[in-house]
Structure 1
Amino acid sequence: MSIPLLSTLIFFPILGGLSLLIVPRQQTATIKIMALIVSLIEFALCAPIFLLFDKTTFAMQFVEVHPWIKALHINYALGIDGISVLFLLLTALIIVLSILVSWQSITTKVQEFFISLLLLEGAMMGVFCATDFFLFYIFWEAMLIPMFLIIGVWGGPNRIYATVKFFLFTLVGSLLMLVGVILLYQNGGHTFDILKLAGQPYSLKLQLILFWAFFAAFAVKVPMWPVHTWLPDAHTEAPAAGSVILAGVLIKMGAYGFLRFSLPILPDATREMMLPMLVLSVIAIVYGAIICLAQTDLKRLIAYSSVSHMGFVTLGMFALNQHGLEGAILQMINHGVVTGALFLAIGMVYERTHTREITAYGGLATTMPVFAGFFLLFTLAAVGLPGTNGFIGEFLILLGSFERAPWTAVVAASGLILGAWYMLWLYQRIFFNEVNEAMHGLKPLDLREILTLLPMVLLIFWIGLYPNALLGFLHVSVGHLLDQVNGLGLAGQAAPLTLALHP
């Protein structure tokens, strides 16, 4: 009997989190150690999946299917392909680092905080593993609850406003997605099986309705312009771990939703909506970068940079070619690593200064030289320096978008210039201005903090210098996804794919 690896990845952190309830709440050290051990074991459990994964097939692997609600043909169905496997590894790593960065900063309701982190990990794993749309929706909604608590209970002074805004934006989008799921069930042979739904010939009118119903949920989560306004507030008020998870994993789920549902299930609507999605993407790239130049708060600046960087992801995705899609998926991983690392670093310096105002800093290269070195690496990766992971993803996206519509690549390239401007300017103001008196005497990074940042440094150079380590997982699955978008899975020949720039 084979081991249900995917179910283990989902329920082990959930059970591990609930096991913290048996520990007296005053024993905070024990709670932290147990939470870290659970997260490390979860990360280790990803190793067999990574090593045993077959890169030569687009079929779902490690499949688990069990009848659940027979009357509605709902199954407990799990499986992963080359698109989803990388996100399991990213999620497991991000949770380990989130626990480490919270080791000293979380001082109230410690037990509840680490339980929330582990419950959130289980729900996020479920999102990436589910192959039944109903099960996917359950996990999609379930992850809102611990994230709501993490921001609302352990966040900053305006945490209630940020939490309510985050919850309302995501809940409204999710409810519209639920309407779409029901419509899809009724018109797709009364099944929630994602693979079967992708093989049904829906009318263009129905596909367009479903596309926008799913867009409401996925675009909010990305977040795409103009439904991005919840993100800066959530990032600003969230504790360091909350910001790391938001940037590292949570906002990737919107783009993952497009990849898993909109493109393969609604191919005609995807091709029809290609131009509007490309336009929204380039607006997000330029708008997010320009807004970053006006920010005075460290976390808000990085939050708006996420709007710009995720614009690159949707640009590559809706270029609907191999280069663009592979670049988009790789950039999702890269953004999780780099932006997650930046939020980890900001959380560490905030513990020492208790301010996020950029003008309050200055001269940290003198007072915290090791920290300055780490932050420089993360900054260079964020601006896409060749040799770092940020370069190859952006290069593939620009290549793919140029193949589809050259003007989109030209406009997006201006976002790269603006990105270098605001990130290098940020670094100059924090580390190389005149030393602010309040910054004297800051303690250097300790061993725990260095070990927290080190995995991100290794990933930045590993992916940057050997991108095929990740791209190898994507080639076959992305090729199959493009076949589905082009209609090869149904008609045997590709439907014409054009980009109309005039009536």
Structure 2
Amino acid sequence: MLTVLLILIPLITGLITFGLKGPGAKVFSLLSSLATLAVAAVAWTQFQSSPDSLQFTADWIPQLNSQFKVGLDGLSLMLVLLTTISFPLIFITVFSRSYDRAGSFYGLMLLSQAGLLGVFLAYDALLFYFFWELALIPVYFLCSMWGGERAVPVTFKFFVYTFAGSLLMLVGIIYIYFQTEGSFSWQSFTSLSLSNGEQSWLFWLFFVAFAIKMPVFPFHTWQPDTYEQSPTPVTMVLSGVMVKMGLFGVMRWLVPVLPQGVYMWQEAAIVLSVIGIIYASCIAIMQSDLKKLIAYSSIAHIGLMSAAIFANNEQSLAGVQVQMFNHGINIIGLWIIVEVIEQRLKVKNMGELGGIATYAPRLAILLVIVSLANIALPLTNGFIGEFLMFSGLFQYNPWFAAIAGIAVILAAVYMLRMLQKVLFGEANALTATTTDLKSGEMLAMACIVAVIFVLGVYPKPLLDLAAGIGLQDAVAAVITR
């Protein structure tokens, strides 16, 4: 029942929040997110002793033999924890902000959380698709109604991209459904033996849908503008959690359901991913806009995770799972600082900044820590996952690992350049007015920095979850089937 509560709490409270106004909406949303986090913590505790107990099945659409089947394994639990940690951090950060139609804003945020949790918990393909769309629709309205000057056309492009990918995935789901004995269950999908030809073209239906969501080159063009134009809390959800839907989809559905298709096309997928890593890193170096720099940085990191998944070995998969969590935490930390700078100074162009460290030392120290974690400095949480991914990619093909490894150097270049331009040098009339972090912002960043150092020194809790999902057995079937 805990798995159902994880979805019901944000879903019901999100609908209730639409009727609230002003401070009541933000307080209620924060309490809702904390309640969901508490349920996730209980589920994590229970998972340690009895993982099989965290399953729930009920009739949903009996005419189609589709069930409301949800459950937790190590992979989904890791992303559930990321989601339930992220939303309280976001709400705490923006607690002092005022939004027009606050009830609608926070209600849509909670509905997006319900959709995200449903995606990570679903063990029925039709239910997975339902939550996949539920997570998208609230974000569309959040971006278009509370975004920047170009929010409407940018959000429309985002919606068209993601909806087109979703339709391709739906075609694949329906085709596989008719090849089974009429079941959408994950077990039925994974036990089905499709021909090599079927798996070959079905692979691209699913991969394109997931690649758009991640995004992977060349399906990434919606992301930078969407990140720039969206309100920063929504950008935190998009980059911290929602992009993980694509990675999760590959690991939960694409690899186990179409193993031979993965085997045939894995090199093509890795090539696209590696191109995206280098391309996004080079573009990030050229950026002067803070939001776009972080957006392209995220594309590079996700590209490495995508390449590591298709490397198909134990180390690369463990690294991806660990890095999904750590990347989400780190990128939200970066967005919090960007939100603070944008709110204080009303600028995003690094050329107009400089000298902030003199007037906001706590902001400067925390931004340096999160930036170093983002480039995977040892003793930060980003190191172990990135090391495992490169190790696994090297096992698959040393040349791919070497080319992707160039991004490590490029990441250091654009992140250190950003720190220099934003924090150091001479202050100007604008940056001299900077004030340091407020209590809510400081609390959120302190939690993030604590996670960075704790998991950097002791990553075993995440590695234990990564080792316990049983995905390695499914991936091994790529070679044997």
TM-score normalised to structure 1 length: 0.93
Give 1:486 deviation, angstroms.
Answer: 2.9
Q: Distance in 2 between matches of 1:196 and 1:106?
A: 48
Q: What is the match of residue 485 of structure 1?
A: 475
Counterpart contact for 1:368–1:444, Cα < 8 Å: yes
Q: Distance in 2 between matches of 1:208 and 1:77?
A: 28
Counterpart contact for 2:73–2:468, Cα < 8 Å: no
Q: What is the match of residue 455 of structure 2?
A: 463
Q: What is the RMSD computed on CA atoms of the aligned residues?
A: 1.4
Give 1:340 deviation, angstroms.
Answer: 1.2
Q: Distance in 1 between matches of 2:475 and 2:376?
A: 30
Counterpart contact for 1:224–1:281, Cα < 8 Å: yes
Q: What is the match of residue 161 of structure 1?
A: 153
Q: Is 1:415 the equivalent of 2:407?
A: yes
Q: Distance in 2 between matches of 1:402 and 1:56?
A: 36
Give 1:476 deviation, angstroms.
Answer: 3.0
Once the two structures are superposed, residues 468-487 of structure 1 have per-residue CA deviations (whole angstroms, 9 ceiling, x without a partner) of 1111011132xx32322332
Q: Distance in 1 between matches of 2:18 and 2:193?
A: 49
Give 1:397 deviation, angstroms.
Answer: 0.5
Once the two structures are superposed, residues 273-317 of structure 1 have per-residue CA deviations (whole angstroms, 9 ceiling, x without a partner) of 111111111111111100001111000000000110001101111
Q: Is 1:36 the equivalent of 2:21?
A: no
Q: Distance in 1 between matches of 2:35 and 2:18?
A: 19
Q: Is 1:50 the equivalent of 2:35?
A: no
**Overall identity of the aligned pairs, in %:** 36
Structure 2 residue matching 1:78: 3-state secondary structure? strand
Q: Distance in 2 between matches of 1:80 and 1:271?
A: 27
Summarize the alignment of residues 311-350 of structure 1 with structure 2, pairs less than 5 Å apart.
311-350=303-342
Q: Could you list the runs of 5+ residues in structure 2 that have no partner in the other structure? A: none
Letter in 2 for 1:77: K
Q: Distance in 2 between matches of 1:207 and 1:55?
A: 37
Structure 2 residue matching 1:318: 3-state secondary structure? helix
Q: Distance in 2 between matches of 1:18 and 1:34?
A: 12
**Corresponding residue pairs, total:** 481
Q: What is the match of residue 265 of structure 1?
A: 257
Letter in 1 for 2:157: K
Give 1:29 deviation, angstroms.
Answer: 1.5
Structure 2 residue matching 1:53: 3-state secondary structure? helix
Q: What is the match of residue 68 of structure 2?
A: 76
Q: Distance in 1 between matches of 2:257 and 2:98?
A: 43
Letter in 2 for 1:10: I
Q: Is 1:367 the equivalent of 2:359?
A: yes
Q: Distance in 2 between matches of 1:399 and 1:235?
A: 31
Give 1:106 deviation, angstroms.
Answer: 3.5
Report runs of 4+ in structure 1 exceeding 3 Å deviation. 54-57
Give 1:466 deviation, angstroms.
Answer: 0.8
Structure 1 residue matching 2:54: 3-state secondary structure? strand
Q: Distance in 1 between matches of 2:231 and 2:19?
A: 25
Q: Distance in 1 between matches of 2:350 and 2:97?
A: 21
Give 1:93 deviation, angstroms.
Answer: 1.2
Give 1:103 deviation, angstroms.
Answer: 2.2
Q: Could you list the runs of 5+ residues in structure 1 that have no partner in the other structure? A: 489-493, 497-503
Once the two structures are superposed, residues 414-466 of structure 1 have per-residue CA deviations (whole angstroms, 9 ceiling, x without a partner) of 01000000000110011112112211122211111101211111111111111
Summarize the alignment of residues 276-425 of structure 1 with structure 2, pairs less than 5 Å apart.
276-425=268-417
Q: What is the match of residue 15 of structure 1?
A: 12
Q: Distance in 1 between matches of 2:35 and 2:434?
A: 34
Q: What is the match of residue 500 of structure 1?
A: none
Q: Distance in 2 between matches of 1:302 and 1:38?
A: 29
Q: What is the match of residue 208 of structure 2?
A: 216
Structure holding more helix per residue: 2
Letter in 2 for 1:295: Q
Summarize the alignment of residues 178-189 of structure 1 with structure 2, pairs less than 5 Å apart.
178-189=170-181
Q: What is the match of residue 495 of structure 1?
A: 480
